[in-house]
Amino acid sequence: MPYPWYEILKNSNQIRQGDFIPNCPIFVPPSNLNTELIEEGNEVDISLKKLNAIVVSQSCDLEHDKVEIVLVCPYYSLEYFFSALPISESTGNGRRKKIEALRQGNLPAYHLLNKDLDCGLSDYSVVDFKNVYGVNYDFLKSFVSSIPNRPRLLPPYREHLSQAFARFFMRVGLPNDIEGVI
């Protein structure tokens, strides 16, 4: 029995985990922001960044209005992902190894999603868990309502994305590892 990866949402303001948000506006504070700048009455310049994002907040929290801020992560085409890597990892055997590591979930900061021409996803997508952004829920509902067609990741692939996101954030880096045990 085939399990489709995606469905298409048409002019919907509904937001669930696994929703693709193309050109999602992200407001970025300046890197020199400090307490003096944010005192009451001071104006602060922020920049607007647009990125392709996927929702990683839990659907149950979104459905029951338990969040004001929706967590999203950027996603890139597989080709774009490789363009940012050193040549040794983006060509030949290095590329094949990197694709297999992505496919098997052995790169915890990234998650590979299937392509689907019917949904407008002509290449595989790589979700980047290293960069997580928050977007106001009401703003995001308004924003997505103007998008005529956008993909939504379906179960069980949505749960697989959620599990990969959780694995990335539950990692623990120890200052000193246990020395060799016989």
**Average pLDDT of the residues of the chain:** 92
Is residue 178 included in any domain, yes or no? no
Would you say residue 70 lies in a domain? yes
Closest of 140, 120, 110, 103 to residue 7, by C-alpha: 120
- At residue 146, the pLDDT reads 94
Residues forming beta bridges with residue 149, ordered by sequence position? 10
Residue 3 lies in a domain: no
99 domain residue, yes or no: yes
Percent of the chain having pLDDT more than 70?
A: 98
Confidence bin at 88 (pLDDT 50/70/90): confident
pLDDT of residue 86: 82
Q: How confident is the model at residue 127 (pLDDT cuts 50, 70, 90)?
A: very high
Domain extent for 52: 9-32+44-169
Please state the pTM of the whole predicted model. Answer: 0.89
Confidence of residue 107 (pLDDT cuts 50, 70, 90): very high
Decide if pLDDT at 53 tops 80.
yes
Q: How many domains does the chain have?
A: 1
CB 169 within 8 A of CB 129: yes
Cβ 164 vs Cβ 111: under 8 Å? yes
**In a domain? residue 182:** no
Residue 176's pLDDT is what? 87
Please indicate, yes or no, if residue 176 is contained in any of the structural domains: no
What value, to the nearest 5°, has the Cα angle with vertex 59 and ends 50 and 167? 80
Q: Is residue 1 part of a domain?
A: no
Q: Is 181 inside a domain boundary?
A: no
What the block records as the tokens of 130 is: 């290293």
